[in-house]
Amino acid sequence: MCSVRAPLARLDYLRETLVTRTCLVTGGAGFIGCAISRDLANAFDRVVALDNMHPQIHPSQGRPAELDERVELHRLDVSVAEDWDHALAEAAPDVIVHLAAETGTGQSLTEASRHASVNVVGTTQMLDALVRHEIRPDKIVLASSRAVYGEGQWVDHEGRPSYPGQRTHAMLRAGQWDFKGLTPSVQSSTTVKASPANVYAATKFCQENLVTSWCGSFGVTPVLYRLQNVYGPGQSLINPYTGIVSLFARLARSGKSIPVYEDGQIVRDFVFIDDVASAIVAGVLHSPAAVQPYDIGLGERTTIMQIAQAIAEHYGAPAPHVTGQFRDGDVRAAWADTTRARQALDWEPLVGVTEGINRLCDWIDAQEDASAETATAMSTDTATEV
């Protein structure tokens, strides 16, 4: 009888294993990882998040409150082969969402090895580990960046396209913010070639090529996103290399005038975190057939000065001021043509800039108020104890 029960038990185990769907998310405790965690936990039987919990992002080193409680969190480094072996021994993913990355534009110029180690080597370590463990996921979803376009395509007064290249340090130092006689154009992966203007951008473009070529060779579906400037609740408030919207909000909340680089007319496409999350989840759950990568943004031009003014008005802070300062590697203008992403993913960004700023500021207020209450409580406890 025992000889009968054992095979039956094994069959039940195999049957359960066959219907279990697993999603692995690198950088899963980060801003975007937390934002997609609930939808992934609803869609998969098991969601495993890998994150090195870098103190620049996670100063408390604790599990983020925004990460869905059903998600398994493992503190692992994607650039370390042994960590990948440990992760894949624990879970054979059907889908991988590759978010882990160093994202500092200016920081990448002085810490190139760090950015290449995480972004490039971290990706190759993932691919090598999948081969070692003989795992072929159904798809790999990669969060790349609009930074790969660099300055992108500009047009002259007759509408002829041009690729002027990178703005040099000499240009920026002289206050020459634009390319003379040219106007920037919208970014689309089907019409604008990649031309990275900083180390971070170069590593992200390398990621795209690595994932695409590997997936093509092993029959795995790649889903690539080029994200514009993502902001919203859950974004790090202490990382100096995070998005400017949260940093501007903290300055304005403290009653300070927001400093704006160059002449204030840098153009960006600010896309709310909920809209980015819904786009990524759509690519995870469905099989879009259109040409990739997908450009994910609100699809609107907004100057840095406009963002700063809106935040200052929200808090009643002094008017922002132009500093004339600049950052090497920054591009002058970037905004997305989201047409193909909307069609292929059946997706649409729903949160405009004004609503998004209000929601972010409300969240920041709640975080700061909670921190103040905690500090007061600790101070009271200490005084009583003494």
CA-based angle 155:160:166, to the nearest 5? 40
Average the pLDDT over 82-95 and give the result: 97
Look at residue 155 and tell me if it is in a domain: yes
Lowest mean pLDDT among 59-63, 66-70, 261-265, 305-309: 59-63
Look at residue 258 and tell me if it is in a domain: yes
Question: What CATH number corresponds to the domain at position 229?
Answer: 3.40.50.720
Q: How far apart are CA 313 and CA 187, in angstroms?
A: 30
State yes or no: pLDDT of 33 exceeds 90: yes
User: Catalytic positions, please?
Assistant: 200
Q: How far apart are CA 344 and CA 289, in angstroms?
A: 7
Average the pLDDT over 369-373 and give the result: 56
State yes or no: pLDDT of 7 exceeds 60: no
> Given this model, what pLDDT does residue 241 score?
65
Q: How many domains does the chain have?
A: 1
Length of the chain in residues, anyone?
A: 386
State yes or no: pLDDT of 382 exceeds 90: no
CB under 8 Å to 130, separation ≥6 — which residues?
A: 88, 136, 137
Would you say 136 and 220 are in contact if contact means Cβ atoms under 8 Å apart? Answer: yes
State yes or no: pLDDT of 184 exceeds 90: yes
State yes or no: pLDDT of 11 exceeds 50: no
> Given this model, what pLDDT does residue 383 score?
31
Look at residue 352 and tell me if it is in a domain: yes
Q: How far apart are CA 30 and CA 101, in angstroms?
A: 10
Look at residue 103 and tell me if it is in a domain: yes
Would you say 143 and 98 are in contact if contact means Cβ atoms under 8 Å apart? Answer: yes
Lowest mean pLDDT among 92-96, 187-191, 234-238, 286-290: 286-290
- Each residue of 231-241: pLDDT tens digit? 999 998 877 66
Per the prediction, the chain carries an average pLDDT of: 89
> Given this model, what pLDDT does residue 3 score?
37
Model confidence at 59, pLDDT cuts 50, 70, 90, reads: confident
Look at residue 143 and tell me if it is in a domain: yes
State yes or no: pLDDT of 377 exceeds 60: no
State yes or no: pLDDT of 13 exceeds 50: no
Average the pLDDT over 156-172 and give the result: 95
Look at residue 385 and tell me if it is in a domain: no
**Residue 35 is part of which domain span?**
2-379
State yes or no: pLDDT of 366 exceeds 60: yes
What is this structure's pTM?
0.88
Average the pLDDT over 186-195 and give the result: 95
Look at residue 384 and tell me if it is in a domain: no
> Given this model, what pLDDT does residue 103 score?
82
State yes or no: pLDDT of 378 exceeds 70: no
Look at residue 386 and tell me if it is in a domain: no
- Each residue of 116-139: pLDDT tens digit? 999 999 999 999 999 999 999 999
Residue percentage of the chain with pLDDT more than 90: 78
**Residue of 327, 198, 176 whose CA lies nearest to 259:** 327
Would you say 105 and 146 are in contact if contact means Cβ atoms under 8 Å apart? Answer: no
Distances (CA, A) of 353 to 198, 299, 342: 27, 11, 18
- Each residue of 239-289: pLDDT tens digit? 766 679 999 999 999 999 999 999 999 999 999 999 999 999 999 998 777
Would you say 271 and 229 are in contact if contact means Cβ atoms under 8 Å apart? Answer: yes
Q: Which residue has the tokens 């990275």?
A: 196
Question: Which DSSP string do the residues of 300-320 spell out, in sequence order?
Answer: --EEHHHHHHHHHHHHTPPPP
